[in-house]
Amino acid sequence: DLLSRFNIRHRYSIPYYPQCNGLVEKTNGIICKVISKQVKKHPKEWDKHLIATLWAYRTSYKASLGFTPFHLVYGQEALLPVEVEIPSFRVLLKKSGQKKRRQEFNRQLKDKGLTQGTLVLRYDNRFDNRYDTKFQPRWEGPFLIKTKFKNGSYQIMDLSGKVHKTKVNGWRLK
């Protein structure tokens, strides 16, 4: 087995929670959002915008890396047209971005106060990116919370007592 040969531990992630899969899923989501905004009128032409979108992503500062992806690959920053006229743009962006990320992180840390036995509804995001399901209900349930985990995820069960094997992140519950 390839995993055991290279001493790699296979880890499972929570479905419908891309943050759990780390930077790869987050990056894919960002790229998809940027492309979708560019191709609203002609969605089948998404591939024509991919190169410019990837360039924009690769030359943008990433706080999680401390650099731009371009810098990590080539050992230097790409010279952007805007930096010819405003050399300190990247520094200003970095400082303002750090403050915004700190505020957003602290805002998301709030405990929802959900405990074992609490009745909740689960957000159903299957319909988020579909045009033909505009009026579909977005919340399923009710469910009971069976177990609360330290990482903000929960194990839920339906009212008949059937436990759902897959954990659910707290942001998907209300």
Are the beta carbons of 20 and 13 closer than 8 angstroms?
A: yes
Residue 114 lies in a domain: no
- The residue whose two tokens read 């009745």 is 119
Q: How far apart are CA 16 and CA 71, in angstroms?
A: 31
- Give pLDDT, residue 87: 55
Cα–Cα distance between 146 and 166 in angstroms, integer? 12
Residue 19's Cβ-count burial label (10 Å; 0-12, 13-18, 19+) is: middle
Nearest CA-CA partner of 167 in 8, 23, 20: 20
Q: What is the pLDDT of residue 157?
A: 96
Please check the confidence at residue 63 and state whether its pLDDT lies above 60: yes
Greater model confidence, 147 or 25 = 147
> Between these two residues, 17 and 51, which has the higher pLDDT value?
51
49 is a domain residue: yes
Q: 163 in a domain, yes or no? A: yes
In a domain, 13, yes or no: yes
Pairing of strands 168-169, 153-158: antiparallel
Is the CB of residue 103 less than 8 Å from the CB of residue 89?
no
d(CA 25, CA 17): 9
Residues 14 and 79 in one domain: yes
Q: Which amino acid is at 105?
A: F
Amino acid code (one letter) for 138 = R
Q: In terms of residue numbers, what domain contains 136?
A: 119-172
Greatest mean pLDDT among 77-81, 141-145, 148-152, 166-170: 141-145
Q: Is residue 113 part of a domain?
A: no
* Residue indicated by tokens 């990590």: 72
pLDDT band at 89; cut points 50, 70, 90: low
Which pLDDT tens digit goes with each residue over 108-164? Answer: 656 677 889 999 999 988 777 776 666 677 899 899 999 988 777 899 999 999 999
Our count of domains for the chain comes to 2
Mean model confidence pLDDT for the chain:
83
Residue 36 shares a structural domain with residue 87: yes
How many other C-beta atoms can be found within 10 angstroms of the C-beta atom of residue 58? 16
| Residue 20 pLDDT > 70 | yes
Model pTM?
Answer: 0.42
Report the 10 Å Cβ neighbour count for 77.
14
